[in-house]
A and B are shown apart, each in its own frame.
Chain A
């Protein structure tokens, strides 16, 4: 028998109280872990999904809405812009690449993104080039004779169950325009995973308004200047007119991170309060247990246990409860984060599944055990100072 066995017997002896205390610690730790993982996942998703294009030109309005919708497929699309915007940008000598994008409706929640093959082109400056897992890209066909071909992002293919050569449409009014899957992209960890890419020609034919009004609308144009020194002039120039705006994705991302930073600050205060509440609960549990056990502690001392031994037993018990709660909380927190991430992703939110082992787990575990030691310190000192003769009096 060792002090560890003694602690284990004590935990078993007060099974309900021990379990409730472990659950309380676990809930607090879960909250911390899930919050950190989700905020980190959202940040990482924003970083991973950030575009390599320096400028986005779209309809006048909120630049944040424009960037969130075009790059991260969040928020509602901004109003349409004419095809001529793209043509003007393409012919601008300061522009290296211009990619037109039109945001359409959705199939089973996965948004149609109409664009050209340039969207998938492996330019040397691109960090992430969408790559095919299977099949091929859609053709850049003549707009008046579209092929209705679709390339699915990895999540869109997995969740809809669609595979190459499958045909699909949503709603009876779209039955005349069935799309055919020609390719599936590799998972990229970006919003492209949840998109269904089609050609602009297919989009314009499928869109009743553009079909009847004989117009070719776009949502935005992604722009890469030849020289970064041209970026300010392009940005200013496209913001002068009354109908169009040019947004800098990096600046918008910075705004988003600033907002996330505020959320993190509030979260840190909430989590600190949770840590204090959990610590206090653990303290009260251990304090009451020590008060209840004063006779047993006195008996141990009478049997020859040193003061340091009884102090160690109480501290070890407090740390054991914290450690068990910490382990359960870390596992639970990952579960909650995975669930929250899935729910967020299903609603089109950007989040990575941060299940990788990092400093977070050992640091959290160490902090929880330290909290356990702190909460057990006063009860342990109480045990240390227990007067043997006083507490051995016959019952």
Chain B
């Protein structure tokens, strides 16, 4: 059961990186950001505006320098790393710009891997579930194919299936169409929005692609979210 209130809440979140000369570069300064449950929120921003850094912080793959991030009532910034990993595996799906499929594994195995790490779905149910998701995304005939044997559009659909594997309430997508041609990008975007709406997922997409910006329910600009957007850029 998803708790009432915002799915995602960021307060006073900053991210800084140490520099070789001993100084510090602050690339992110988000005073306040909330995301309502369900629907598709698109954050636009030009390259280097801190979009990916923001997604990485929300996904918990990197820790903020300061501030709190709350997802579905859980303050992930207060969790120890191992619990944060577990939380991410179970509650967050991540779609990468470069797909990041594991080349040694088939499409089906790439999806099952996400379930293996989360350990939320019983092992005997993992393969049937992965098969069902991939079939829903039009890849029923490609289950045994390795990423190298799939087109880029198919690879991104496998990545979407992987993000949905553990039925997470929150899906993060980092420039999901940036590596695709226009026609394939449209096709992938349609699929991503459809499955998220169908399953009432909260989708947060960062992009500077016009087609993506137009498809969202809510549009935010990095310059209004990140006080350091100009500096980062």
Q: Which residues of A are in contact with B by a Cβ distance under 8 Å?
A: 1-2, 5-6, 9-10, 12-13, 295-296, 298-309, 387-389, 392-395
Which 4 pairs of residues, A with B, have the shortest CB-CB distance?
Answer: A304-B89, A13-B104, A389-B62, A388-B61
Q: Does residue B90 face the partner (Cβ distance < 8 Å to A)?
A: yes
Nearest B residue (CB) for A13: B104
Main secondary structure on chain B at its contact with chain A?
A: helix
Per the bound structure, the CA–CA distance linking A307 and B103 in Å amounts to 21
Per the bound structure, the CA–CA distance linking A304 and B88 in Å amounts to 6
Complex contact A304–B61 (CB within 8 A): no
Q: Size of chain B's interface in residues, with CB distance under 8 A? A: 38
CB proximity to A under 8 Å, residues B171-194: 174-175, 178-179
The residue that A303 contacts in the complex, of B53, B89, B123, with Cβ under 8 A, is B89
Nearest B residue (CB) for A306: B85
Seed contacts A295-B100, A392-B96; 5 additional CB < 8 Å A-B pairs: A1-B115, A300-B102, A302-B61, A306-B85, A394-B178
CB of A391, distance to nearest CB on chain B (Å): 10
With known contacts A306-B85, A307-B81, A389–B113 Cβ distance under 8 A? no
Contacts of B52 in A (CB 8 A): 393-394
Per the bound structure, the CA–CA distance linking A308 and B80 in Å amounts to 14
CB of A80, distance to nearest CB on chain B (Å): 74
Contacts of A10 in B (CB 8 A): 104
With known contacts A394-B96, A395-B98, A389–B85 Cβ distance under 8 A? no
With known contacts A1-B113, A2-B116, A394-B96, A304–B104 Cβ distance under 8 A? no
Complex contact A13–B103 (CB within 8 A): yes
Nearest B residue (CB) for A387: B62
The residue that A299 contacts in the complex, of B88, B102, B112, B179, with Cβ under 8 A, is B102
Q: Does residue B118 face the partner (Cβ distance < 8 Å to A)?
A: yes
Q: Please encode chain B, from 117 to 149, with 1 for each CB lying within 8 Å of some chain A CB and 0 for all others.
A: 110000100100000000000000000000000
Contacts of B126 in A (CB 8 A): 1
Q: Does residue B29 face the partner (Cβ distance < 8 Å to A)?
A: no
Per the bound structure, the CA–CA distance linking A12 and B103 in Å amounts to 11
Nearest B residue (CB) for A308: B82
Interface pairs (12), CB distance under 8 Å:
A1-B112, A1-B115, A1-B126, A296-B100, A303-B113, A303-B162, A305-B85, A305-B117, A309-B117, A392-B56, A394-B179, A395-B98
CB of B175, distance to nearest CB on chain A (Å): 7
Q: Does residue B32 face the partner (Cβ distance < 8 Å to A)?
A: no
CB of A312, distance to nearest CB on chain B (Å): 12
With known contacts A389-B61, A392-B61, A394-B178, A304–B114 Cβ distance under 8 A? yes
